Amino acid sequence: MPDPAQPAFILVRPQMGENIGAAARAMLNFGLRRMRIVDPRDGWPNPKAVAMASGAAGPVLDFAGVFADVPAAVADCDFVFATTARGRELPKPIYTPEAAMTEARRRIVAGEKVGILFGPERTGLENDDITRANAIITVPVNPDFFSLNLAQAVLLSAYEYSRHTLESVPLDPGLAGHEPATAVDVEKWGDHFEGRLEEAGFFHPPEKAPMMKRNLRNMWTRFAMTRSEVQMLHGALKQLMRPRG
């Protein structure tokens, strides 16, 4: 079984089985085994992925979780990175792979679950995917040729994570003993808040509604909330919506 004290490498809508297999090999090169796959284009299991994994990396695929969408894939994560050369219009912290994996290791040692999103080969992650992340990883590459294939992106992150595996020590995440909110906690709060705004007619004009909702989702994931804070927000909103008198 994959070690739960590792980041989850989440391949979002991968298009080719060969690239999934190559990503599995890249992960195992550095001792990482926690792969998740979101809505693979050619279905799952994929014999081309198994062939490319070249035997030794087969167990990475055997234990890979398959999910219908990004919210489901990150539901148990406390902190999520999105690897992208885009998305800078969304206000989120931007890390290099080295800084991101140092932070990932720090959080995992502190008991948190970390996920890393990798986009499909042709288009990369969409903004709706990136809003589910707390921070962005961008590789400082040649600006005239910045495209990395899926396995290369996975390899870079896996290498940087493994470099810091033995160097990190437990750190206090600064939450004063409170449990951090998981991605599903934040997702449910976003649904609750968005639903109340819908009822109040906030999303107007209709053509701007998708952008407004995306900005709200992005804001919630940017905040490092605890579970108790999310529960308090639910309670406050319910109280505000109660009839007066």
pLDDT higher than threshold 70 for residue 181 = yes
pLDDT in tens, 195-219: 999 999 999 999 999 999 999 999 9
How does residue 158 score in pLDDT terms, banded at 50, 70 and 90?
A: very high
* Proportion of the chain above pLDDT 70, given as a percent: 91
pLDDT higher than threshold 70 for residue 88 = no
Per-residue model confidence (pLDDT) at position 165: 66
Per-residue model confidence (pLDDT) at position 177: 66
Distance set, CA 202 to CA 131, 206, 216, 218 (Å): 20, 10, 12, 18
Lowest-pLDDT range, 78-87, 158-167, 192-201, 217-226? 158-167
Per-residue model confidence (pLDDT) at position 97: 94
pLDDT higher than threshold 60 for residue 171 = no
Per-residue model confidence (pLDDT) at position 3: 76
How does residue 5 score in pLDDT terms, banded at 50, 70 and 90?
A: confident
Task: Specify whether the CB–CB gap between 72 and 140 falls below 8 A.
Answer: no
Q: What is the pTM of this model?
A: 0.82
Of the candidates 61, 24, 16, which has an alpha carbon nearest to the alpha carbon of residue 40?
A: 16
Mean pLDDT of 52-80: 92
Mean pLDDT of 5-26: 94
Return the exposure string of 4-19: e unless at least 16 CB atoms fall within 10 Å of the residue's CB, then b.
Answer: eebbbbbbbbbebbbb
Lowest-pLDDT range, 79-88, 132-141, 222-231? 79-88
Mean pLDDT of 96-125: 93
Backbone angles phi, psi at 115, to 5 degrees: -120, 150
Mean pLDDT of 85-100: 83
As a whole number, the mean pLDDT across the chain is 89
Backbone conformation region of residue 83, classed left if phi is above 0, alpha if psi is from -120 to 50, else beta: beta
Tokens of 45: 């299991």
| Whole-number Å distance between alpha carbons of 43 and 66 | 10
* All domains in the chain, ordered by first residue: 8-163 (3.40.1280.10), 183-241 (no CATH)
Mean pLDDT of 11-25: 94
Per-residue model confidence (pLDDT) at position 142: 79
193's CB contacts (< 8 A; 6+ apart) are 216, 220, 233, 237
pLDDT higher than threshold 80 for residue 87 = no
pLDDT higher than threshold 80 for residue 8 = yes
- Letter for the amino acid at 97? P
* Distance, C-alpha 137 to centroid of its chain: 11
